[in-house]
A and B are shown apart, each in its own frame.
Chain A
Amino acid sequence: MRKAVLRAAAFTVIAVIHAAIAAAPLSLDALMDMLRRERPATVHFNETREMALLDRPLESSGELTFTPPDRLEKRTTSPGSERLVVEGDTLVMERAGRRQAASLRQWPQVAAMLEGIRATLAGDRPRLEQVYRVTLEGDAAGWRLVLVPRDAEVAKIVARVTLGGVEGSVRRVEIDQADGDRSLMQIAPRGR
């Protein structure tokens, strides 16, 4: 009986400790660690853009591949087909049979958005904090990373980038533009 009580107590303690650990606020460094350890994979995305100009949101979907440390490929299959590759400073876009290459330095706002996603996927805290002020909410089972641009010029277009995820995998990217337009990209492992 005493033994049983003792065991129950032990279980309780362990459970409490476990719960406490699980619910403990996640540190940014710990999140970056988890993100870094995530194996590269191709994921499916679904993007919704809401614009004041338009009566209803624009939808698009396709696949995303991230290859550390800095290559991000986005292949849109619907509605139109488009391929976007960002690697280092170079951005290549293929649309309607035309290939256009540009340098990210040309488009600081686009660069900031992409860097928010890229640096997060890479678990590269210094690179992330170079561009954004970063706040983290939630725990490993469900976290939210809120990025606010440091650069005033960028902030005129991009108000906030919010990434959400579970442990090392990013599940949603939300971009709030300064004029109120917003986009939401939901990410799921392929095949689901």
Chain B
Amino acid sequence: MSPSRRRAAVAVVAWLLVLAACGAQIAHTRFVADLSSFLPTAPTPEQRLLVDQLRDGALSRMMLMGIEGADAAVRADLSRAVASTLRRDARFTIVANGAADGFTAERDFVVAHRYALSPRVDAERFTVQGLRAAITQTLDLLASSAGLLVKPLVARDPTGETLAVLESLQGGQGPRMLQGVWSDGEGRRAVLLARTRASGSDVDAQAAALAAVQQAFDAGVASVGASAQGARIGVTGPGAFSARSRALVKGDVARLSTLATAAVATMLLLVYRSPLALVLGLLPVVTGAVVGIAAVSAGFGLVHGITLGFGATLIGEAVDYAIYLFVQAGERERAADAIALRGFWPTIRLGVLTSIAGFCALVFSGLPGLAQLGVYSIAGLVAAALVTRFVLPVLLPANFRVRDLSVAGARIAAFARRLRRLAPWVLVLAAAAIAVLLWRGDDAWDGDIASLNPIAARDRVLDARLRSALGASDARYMVLIRGASADASIAGAERVGAALDALVAAGILEGYESPARFVPSVATQQARLASLPDEATLRSRLVQALEGLPLRADRLEPFVAEAAAARNAAPVTPDALEGTAFAAPVKGMLFSDADGRWTALMGLRPARAVPLDPRALREAVLRTGVQGAAFLDVKAELDRLYTGYLRQALLMSALGLAVIVALLAIALRDARRVARVMVPLAAGVAVVAAGHVLLGTRLSILHLMGLLLVVAVGSNYALFLDRVGLGAGGTQTTLASLVLANATTVASFGMLALSSIPVLSALGSTVAAGALLTLVFAAAFAAPAPVDAPNP
């Protein structure tokens, strides 16, 4: 075996081994697909807690459903049917639709612990006057229309503590009731609230839960019959959204990348006139994708669905490598010799290096999602370049030739030479673009994290409606109380709750959620229980209190016995809620973190009419003086986080740019040539960014990714043009290959720009426009003839 044959064999074997190893790694990879992976690992404890909660906490498990269409009675029947099906489904921990049935465990719990839980229990309550007032109220209620409901408990609970507890747990009015189930305020939808067992970030489980809801609803419609035709169910909530956005992204990526692949393949077939060339040309891309996924999997432990979708397009650049090789090799006897062609491989290598410098900005952006994309792109590009350099030439048949493009190349060269007159105008355009970007400054960038959200506006509106109907906090404003123990956090929540009660009374808040309603602090419970008189005292006070009332003390013996027993009862702990529907909400409001500290989380419901002033609330919470209590504006906090990372990504990009300039300076050793490469790139990026801004699009982190890709793709154009110039002869085929590569890029990303998902279309429009512009600009600045200079 000749040394060159041996080297070829080594290359192919190494390639196959790497593919196998990557395959093994991918087989063990966990794929996730929620947007929260784009959320950072968060710098402050509060922010970390917040991100954890959004990802895995109780908030993430909430599922809201609205049934609309048909009439109220049918909607109620459907609501009952869905609830009863889902209650038997292990994937759901709670399914509530307002129907009164099936809450016996909860009622028993409240009755059993009424003296520890009732906010009205204090020493005053059990004096002669207190008893008399409370019992008189109960008698009034007994005489009222609600008497029938109160009667069974009067002998055990004549002071009405059970009702007091139920009222406080309800924390306000509760949803409107229609036909026995919850309805929205307008009576147009039956509403349900469920909690999934799986966390919101477990997208597979969320998708399954979502499907289960739809199935339960369809079965309900079938059993109700013809009158239910036309009824629909809408499901919202974090888990439902991540499941749906994954399906949406998946569907769009699949559809558009199929279209793009078809377009690119058609183009290449037309040019190559060789199916074999087409297949071989895809080898670097496929290898790049496989290595990219394996690298992300090894580095991060999991791969994000968006990484797959976007990453595959990011290494679309790899298609270009094969194009350069095939077309430029076309005029040689053997493609392998083309590799050795002076300048081909070094140019590709330099192009790859500049791309890596750009994508490093993503790796160090601090956002896990973007870091994944950076690693994927870098690993994928390196792998694709190596396959193009070492494997592809070996696999090419000895007589491999694609169609001769020198005629087309000559025409392109002639056209390109005319573009050189545009050079001054490009500079003017670039200057104007930079002026626009400087003028808009920070405004050019969208600091709203919702800009990344692929969820349709319609779904977000429905979510807001359902939350308002259910009185569920929209998880935007909350108070966190961190304490050394569960009880300390609860005690803090009680004190903050007192301050919030004043805001509710003032009409600033509609209500709030608090774990202290379900499990008051030990001190509060003990104080309540200690205020109960002993048996003998209670009996004698009752006799006085009941003077003149139609109720005789001896009828209330059950009350005397139970109150006496309660004096010695142990306080209710969060564990005591187990087995009731209260357990899950309390777990969502009271939890410990890894270092054993506890957090109580109080969701606030702002009054509908007035917008909430976060500053006033922050001050109100501060004034309580509760240690470890903090008011949190979740949206503002997330936006702040996101903006911080956007800034960091921009800074990293600037650094990457500096690295690229340095690389070029070292490789090209000529300031004029560096300028010839850099000016078209910078102009292309600036014009695309300014164009988006002028068209009213605010740039997101996805646009930044697109711009980095423009640098990656465009650097190849500029480098090749820098090397070959626009002269006659063999260099013209290089020009043809650049135009072909550019056409494929513009076609595939142009396809992506058609996506209904904002993030995908942002990426598509940026890259398609940017790739086209950089090629034109690079031609405008190209030298008229090949540069005879030292090669990089």
Residues in A lying within 8 Å of B, measured CB to CB: 47, 49, 51, 53-60, 74, 76, 79-80, 82, 84, 89-90, 93, 95, 99-107, 109-110, 113, 157, 177, 181
Contacts and interface: CB of A to CB of B under 8 A. Distances in A.
A137 B149 CA distance: 31
A84 B143 CA distance: 13
A58 B142 contact: yes
Given A76-B144, A80-B144, A107-B149, A54 B178 contact: no
B102 interface: no
Contacts of B100: 106-107
Contacts of B173: 99-101
Interface in B130-184: 139-149, 151, 154-155, 173, 176-181
Interface stretch (B438-446, B547-555, B722-730): B547-555
A103 B149 contact: no
B149 A105 contact: no
Given A76-B144, A103-B178, A51 B151 contact: yes
Given A103-B181, A106-B177, A93 B550 contact: no
A181 B154 CA distance: 14
Nearest to B140: A80
B72 interface: yes
A84 B141 CA distance: 13
Given A79-B140, A93-B146, A107-B149, A55 B177 contact: no
A79 B552 contact: no
A101 B76 contact: no
Given A58-B550, A59-B143, A93-B144, 19 more contacts: A51-B142, A53-B155, A58-B139, A76-B144, A79-B140, A82-B144, A89-B73, A89-B179, A89-B180, A93-B145, A95-B144, A100-B173, A101-B176, A102-B177, A103-B179, A106-B180, A107-B100, A157-B148, A177-B148
A53 B179 contact: no
Contacts of A113: 148
Count class of interface residues, chain B = 20 to 34
Given A89-B180, A106-B180, A53 B144 contact: no
B140 to A, nearest CB: 5
A49 B143 contact: yes
B550 A103 contact: no
B76 A105 contact: yes
24 contacts: A47-B143, A53-B154, A53-B551, A55-B550, A55-B551, A56-B550, A59-B143, A79-B140, A80-B144, A89-B72, A89-B180, A90-B178, A93-B144, A95-B141, A101-B176, A101-B177, A103-B179, A103-B180, A105-B179, A105-B180, A105-B181, A106-B99, A106-B177, A177-B148
Interchain residue pairs A-B with the least CB separation, the first 7: A105-B180, A103-B177, A58-B143, A54-B550, A106-B100, A80-B140, A56-B550
Contacts of A177: 148
Contacts of B98: 103, 106
B177 A53 contact: no
A104 B180 contact: yes
A99 B173 CA distance: 8
A82 B173 CA distance: 18
Nearest to A183: B147
A95 B142 CA distance: 13
A76 B144 CA distance: 8
B174 to A, nearest CB: 9
A58 B549 CA distance: 10
Contacts of A157: 148
Query: Chain A CB within 10 Å — which of B73, B146, B555 has the most?
Result: B146
A100 to B, nearest CB: 8
Query: Chain B CB within 10 Å — which of A57, A80, A93, A103 has the most?
Result: A103
Nearest to B146: A93
Contacts of B139: 54, 58
A39 B181 CA distance: 34
A27 to B, nearest CB: 32
B143 A60 contact: yes
B239 to A, nearest CB: 29
B555 A53 contact: yes
Contact of A84 (B72, B145, B151, B181): B145
Contacts of B141: 95
Interface string B671-704: 0000000000000000000000000000000000
A56 B143 CA distance: 12
Contacts of B73: 89
A51 B76 CA distance: 35
A178 B141 CA distance: 20
Query: Chain A CB within 10 Å — which of B139, B142, B143, B151 has the most?
Result: B143
A133 to B, nearest CB: 21
Contacts of B146: 93
A60 B144 CA distance: 8
A91 to B, nearest CB: 8
Contacts of B154: 53
A104 B176 CA distance: 12
Nearest to B142: A58
A53 B180 contact: no
B65 to A, nearest CB: 18
Contacts of A102: 177
Contacts of A99: 173
A106 B178 CA distance: 9
Nearest to A98: B167
Nearest to B187: A90
A22 to B, nearest CB: 37
Interface in B453-500: none
Nearest to B137: A96
Given A58-B139, A101-B177, A103-B178, A109 B144 contact: no
A9 B72 CA distance: 64
Contacts of A103: 98, 177-181
A120 B414 CA distance: 97
A47 B99 CA distance: 31
B179 to A, nearest CB: 5
A178 to B, nearest CB: 11
Query: Chain B CB within 10 Å — which of A57, A80, A90, A105 has the most?
Result: A105
B97 to A, nearest CB: 11
Interface in B64-85: 72-73, 76
A102 B155 CA distance: 25
A83 to B, nearest CB: 10
Contacts of A104: 180
Nearest to B552: A55
